[in-house]
Amino acid sequence: MDRRHPLATVCLYAALGLGALFMVVPLAWMVLTSLKTFPEVIHSPPVWFPSAPQWGNYRTVMAGFAFYRLFLNSLFVAAMVIAGTILTCCPAAYAFAFHEVRHREILFGILLTSLMLPAQVTIIPLFRVFSAIHWVNTYLPLVVPAWLGGNVFGIFLLRQSFRAIPRSLIDAARIDGATEWTILWRLVVPVSMPAVLTVCVFTFIWSWNDLFNPLIYLQDESMATLPVGLLYFINRSQQIASASADQVPWQLVMTLATVMVLPLIALFAFVQRRLVESVASSGVKG
Amino acid sequence: MSARGPRSTWFWFLAGPALLGFACFNLAPMAYSLWLSLCRYEVVSPPRFIGFGNYAYLFVHDPSFWPSVRVTLAFTLTQLPLSIVASLGFALALNQPIRGRGFLRSLFFLPSILPQAVFAVVFVYLFQADGGVLNGILGCLGIRGQAWTTNPAWALPVLVTASMWGFGYPLVVFLGGLQNVPRELYEAAHMDGAGPWERFRHVTLPLISPVIFFNLVMGTIGALKVFDLAYVFSVTQGKPPGGPARATLFYGLNLYEQAFGYFHMGLASAMAWLLFAVVLVITAVNFRLGRRWVHYGD
Amino acid sequence: MFSRPREPLLWMAVALLSAAGFWWAGRSRNPAPLPGKTIVTWYQLITPLQDLHREEAAAFEKAHPNIEVRIVWATGTEYNTKLKTLAAAHQLPDLFFAGDVWLSYLRPLMRDLTPLVRRDAAAMGLDDFYPAIRAAMQLDGRTYIMPDTMNLSLLYYNRRLFSEAGLSEPTDGWTWDDVVRAGRVLTRPGTPGRPGVWGCSRVEGWWGEWLIYVRQAGGAVFTADGRRCALDSPQAVAGLGFYLDKSARYGISAPPGFEPANGFVNQRTAMVVGGHVSFWLSYSATPGLDWDVQVLPSGPAGRPGGELAIAGYSISATCPHPEAAWELAKFVTRPEAIAAIVARGGVSVRRSVAEAAMRDLRRGSGPGNLAAVYRQFDYGEPIPHNPYFLEMMYNLIQPEVDRMLLGELTPAETGRRAAAAVNAFMANFDPEGS
């Protein structure tokens, strides 16, 4: 490779710096705002750094809003969805990787089409059915689809990874008399642990971030997950705002938003390399 | 052959839940919603068959249908090229041997795993007219800001900007593609005296075309799905969703509003089926076009 | 080689955990009542009166030991969607907050209260409700709502800003011209350290204000038979025109999008046309805000117009214990309850309470000119009854009005486009047909 022109290097770093700034500023602004006082929030020109960090904002949000419950609700839903995803997607991926049946690839192709399907397309009939069987205001509409292989992207990723296992290894186990169930959980899954973990992380992110389904199915405020809770909180804070003649208490809204993204960022810090690599490979293999 | 019987039984046992789920949560609802799309169904009374009335109303009279198509199209046509160009550009830059590459890669990717609801809340705050950060900065420079979030001309650009915050995802996909380009090809091109642009045009671009194609399809589908961003954008401002003056009424949001805001479930089912048809067409056209210019390495 | 003795145990643990998870996920969140007790669920909008509602519920439980009240709160933005969603899911609350604005929309979910009202008319003092209020409780001669609050459109003004500008205060009999004249004097640009003032606020994104002007100009949203939209009439167009001209021509209101947040409370707008009675509480609680009200100014058609709307409680059609819910409905609309609301600053729906309030000069929570409030009673007009009224206003008409404010449409075009959209909608969603 030829050496880069020094000017090109400067441009390269400048562009990357600008891009990085665009990525960091909104996030930083969100966190900084969560530590400001209300006068600082509405001050013009904008105040970048709080004069003294207002940790009390976090206490206010926790005290004035059923925050712990929302957090636990979100965790519960995510845990159930992850469990269902692993317990049903692993077998499905294994079946589609190592079991020959007729039209298997066509069947898999049809299964994959649901990746393209926006949630809005199926929501009305599902809502009607879930209402009829009294599942509205329970977590079942959010959880049950995951227990029936609802995470097709997970099946796809796992199948990719399972296929890298040499067939001879599977056949050897079969000759030893192991059942398919045992081979799956004792051989295939342990060998593909990185992929399984990646699917867990992705499932967590989707479940944690999902607004559309909880918005429709969880009408009881005490059952809300965090994204819906954020909306409730904004609505309530405006109600408070009109009573106390203030504007939206942005510092509190940003506090809730910060707490909402904190687990995601913490998780990301641990798994970033693996996550980024699996996303990088999704386009190549897909 | 003796193993065939039990082996295929195992297949249905292992893949059964996923296939059942697909039938229950995709196929059956699709069929049911086709029926509902031919009905007047306002929730308080049972569905009543009316033929193609819903479709006719959508196409001819509904004042929000075509605006929502326009908004979705305008968003796709600005956000998708912007995000493809930006993510490809930054992917090329991050593919260079530079300091802190891994860190920057993660930094660019980070926002794309955050909830869209947070995207909306943060950008409404940054862009609001009274007390917003952008207007504050402009004010310091002596420029009078705009009512970015409440002016129909600016609301959609604000959402495009907000969604650009998530361009780290296609960026990382591009990086994956770029890292798959064999080094020797560049070296060979260099020997032949090809400059950086020729190398990009004749080596990189053809080899990453499948990745471009992948990002195009995912981006298009993503634009058709937009809901969280636009919904929270309005709710944060205490306004009915889709405003101002339908400037952020995305198709997916319009469908939700018809179904769960106004409870015209039949009408919304018709919208759902039109959306499904469009997704099918886009996917088919993409693959057809893709075959022409995408070079899959053999 | 693969079998381990502990494996079945592991799978059993997984199964048990999953079962527990599903139990929690599917658990009904409405706990069963204790034996001998009835639970009445009360779906209530969050307003500044929230603490009062809590007190009422506690007092009711004390008076009726066998009934437990469970309040479900919702904000205005969530309210309607949530109620309909619950209805669709067969989980309607027993008693729910409702107003005459929603009456025809929610009627399929409401219980006809006529027999109960007739039975208990004397005990609950039915005649004590103003006739205009009693009319608003009904639709087609059947009663559906027990009211506790009401709203009247009024002209609100900041007395300090008026006297600083050297203006005399608004009087009964003001016209649009007077509003413009005063507004021009009151409006002044901001200077560093001193925010500007707009002569008159403007409500954007809601019909609350422009509908007043349409009516004052002699127009209406619907024709008299309610079957067509009349916003394209010259009178209605004149009303829309005034709404636009406040900023576009007279410069007495902020340009669209720049309306100061809570401008009246922050003393950055001097007048409010329309407003809402429920804001009285926060006005009175704001130190340094010296405010009063007047009858609305009149427009070209010569009458002040304005809305008269009630809010109160309905019992759901599917309520399994209507008598218990009815007891609660009567309890929260009894004279003492209304008096507590009026003491906070509010307009009384009961004549006895209103007269007591008028006699009591120690009040301090409402406007000084209470006489103007009850005079406005004579001008208030009810919201048209159509199941799709809210949807048509928000989804079909309001976007056109928004575009008018931005200069994209003239008032005449706005009226024409809105009328065309509404007429097509009504032809498709004929309320009689569905």
pLDDT tens for each residue of C333-382:
999 999 888 887 778 888 888 888 777 655 556 787 888 888 888 887 77
Q: What is the pLDDT of residue C244?
A: 94
pLDDT in tens, chain B (298 residues): 334 556 788 888 888 899 999 999 988 999 999 999 999 988 877 888 999 999 999 999 898 999 999 999 999 999 999 999 999 999 988 888 888 888 888 889 999 999 999 999 999 988 887 777 888 888 788 787 778 888 888 899 999 999 999 888 888 888 888 887 888 887 888 788 777 788 888 888 888 887 888 888 888 888 888 999 999 998 888 778 887 888 899 999 999 999 998 889 999 999 999 999 988 888 788 777 766 666 655 4
CATH, residue B146? 1.10.3720.10
CATH of the domain at C424: 3.40.190.10
| Residues written for chain A | 286
In a domain, B34, yes or no: no
Residue C272 placed within a domain: yes
Evaluate whether residue C341 is within a structural domain: yes
Domains held by chain C: number: 2
Minimum Cα–Cα distance from B155: chain C residue: C257
User: How far does CA A75 lie from the centroid of its chain?
Assistant: 11
Q: Are residues C345 and C329 in the same domain?
A: yes
Q: Residue C321 falls within a domain, yes or no?
A: yes
Q: Give me the pLDDT at residue B134, please.
A: 84
Q: In terms of domains, do C189 and C330 share one?
A: no
- From the list A113, A156, A152, the residue with the least C-alpha distance to A286 is A156
Taking only residues 128 to 157 of chain A, the set having a beta carbon closer than 8 angstroms to any beta carbon of chain B reads 128-129, 145, 147-150, 152, 155
Q: In this structure, is residue C344 part of a structural domain?
A: yes
Task: Look at residue C410 and tell me if it is in a domain.
Answer: yes
Kindly state whether residue B111 falls inside one of the protein's structural domains. Answer: yes
Distance CA B240, CA B8 (A): 53
Does position A243 have pLDDT exceeding 50, yes or no? Answer: no
Note whether C300 and C412 are same-domain residues: yes
Measured between CA atoms, the residue of chain B closest to residue C388 is: B262
State mean pLDDT over C84-89.
Answer: 85
Specify the amino acid at residue A263.
Answer: P
Q: Is the domain of C141 the same as that of C221?
A: no
Least CB–CB distance from B152: residue in C81, C394, C406:
C406
Domain co-membership, C289 together with C423 = yes
Q: What is the ipTM of this complex?
A: 0.89
Q: Which domains are seen in chain A, by residue range?
A: 65-248 (1.10.3720.10)
If asked whether residues C199 and C272 sit together in one domain, one would say yes
Question: Which has the closest alpha carbon to B273: B24, B49, B52?
Answer: B52
DSSP string, B44-89: SS--EE-TTHHHHIIIII-TTHHHHHHHHHHHHHHHHHHHHHHHHH
Nearest CA in chain B to A249: B125
Q: Residue B2's pLDDT is what?
A: 38
- For the residues A187-196, what does the mean pLDDT come to? 88
User: How do residues A259-281 score in pLDDT, each as one tens digit?
Assistant: 999 999 999 888 888 888 888 87
In the prediction, which pLDDT does C182 show?
94
H/E element, A186: none
Q: Kindly tell me if the per-residue pLDDT of A286 is higher than 50.
A: no
CB atoms < 10 A from the CB of C63, how many? Answer: 10
Amino acid at C371: A
Sign of the Cα torsion C56, C80, C373, C200 reads positive
C145 and C158 together in one domain: no
Contact A253 B231 (CB under 8 A): no
Q: Does C406 touch chain B (CB under 8 A)?
A: yes
- Residue C236's domain comprises 154-305+387-428
CA distances (Å), origin A210, targets A51, A142, A203, B121, C115: 35, 10, 10, 15, 47
For residue A156, the SS3 value is: helix
- Region of residue C93 (phi > 0: left; psi between -120 and 50: alpha; otherwise: beta): beta
Residue A238 has pLDDT above 70, yes or no: no
From B64, B235, B245, residue closest to C403, measured CB to CB: B245
Contact residues, chain C, for A183 at CB < 8 Å: 2
From the list C3, C82, C262, which residue is nearest A219 (CB)? C82
* Mean pLDDT, chain A, whole residue set: 85
**Given CA atoms A248, A233, A219, C72 in this order, what sign does their dihedral have?**
negative
For chain A, how big is the Rg over CA atoms in Å?
24
Nearest to A37 by CA among A20, A54, A49: A54
Asked if A118's CB is within 8 angstroms of B275's CB, the reply is yes
* Predicted local distance difference test score (pLDDT) of residue C411: 95
* Rounded-to-10 torsion of CA B22, B24, B29, B35: 120
The token pair at A66 is 């059923």
* C93, part of any domain: yes
Structure tokens at C77: 């933005």
Domain hosting B103: range is: 60-293
Instruction: Check whether A241 has a pLDDT greater than 50.
Output: no
Are residues C310 and C99 in contact, defined by beta-carbon separation less than 8 angstroms?
yes
Q: State the DSSP string of C131-145.
A: HHHHHHTEETTEE--
Among C110, C90, C111, C94, CA closest to C102: C110
- In a domain? residue B42: no
Tokens read off for C249: 């021509």
Residue B88 maps to a domain: yes
Residues 1-60 of B with CB under 8 A from A: 7-8, 10-15, 17-22, 24-26, 28-30, 32-33, 36
Q: How far apart are CA C110 and CA C123, in angstroms?
A: 23
What percent of chain A has pLDDT above 70?
Answer: 93
Q: Is residue B15 part of a domain?
A: no
Sequence letter at residue B86: A
**Is the peptide bond preceding residue A50 cis, with omega within 30 degrees of 0?**
no
**pLDDT of the residue at A1:** 46
pLDDT at res. B115: 93
Model pLDDT, residue C3 = 55
The alpha-helical segments, DSSP class H, found in C298-396 are 322-331, 335-343, 351-359, 370-376, 389-391
Does any domain span residue B26? Answer: no
Inter-chain touch C78–A223, beta carbons under 8 Å: no
Those chains having 3 or more beta-carbon pairs within 8 angstroms of chain A are B, C
Rounded distance between C-alpha atoms, residue C305 and residue C303, angstroms = 6
Number of compact structural domains in chain B: 1
Mean pLDDT lowest among A118-122, A233-237, B61-65: A233-237
Q: Which pLDDT band holds residue C145 (cuts at 50, 70, 90)?
A: very high
Q: Looking at residue A4, what is its pLDDT? A: 67
The β-bridge partners of B40 are: B48
CB proximity A100 to B under 8 Å = yes
Q: Are residues C72 and C221 in the same domain?
A: no
Interface test with B, best of C46, C198, C386, C395 (most B CBs within 10 A): C395
Number of other residues whose CB lies within 10 A of the CB of residue A165:
16
The rounded percent of chain C whose pLDDT value lies above 70 is 96
DSSP class of A4: P
Nearest to C286 among A138, A236, A245 (CB): A245
Confidence of residue A239 (pLDDT cuts 50, 70, 90): low
Backbone angles phi, psi at C169, to 5 degrees: -70, 155
| Confidence band, pLDDT 50/70/90 cuts, at residue A242 | very low
Looking at C341, C357, C376, which one is the last position of a domain?
Answer: C376
Tell whether C73 and C135 lie within a shared domain.
Answer: yes
State whether C266 and C170 are in the same domain: yes
Q: Are residues C42 and C148 in the same domain?
A: yes
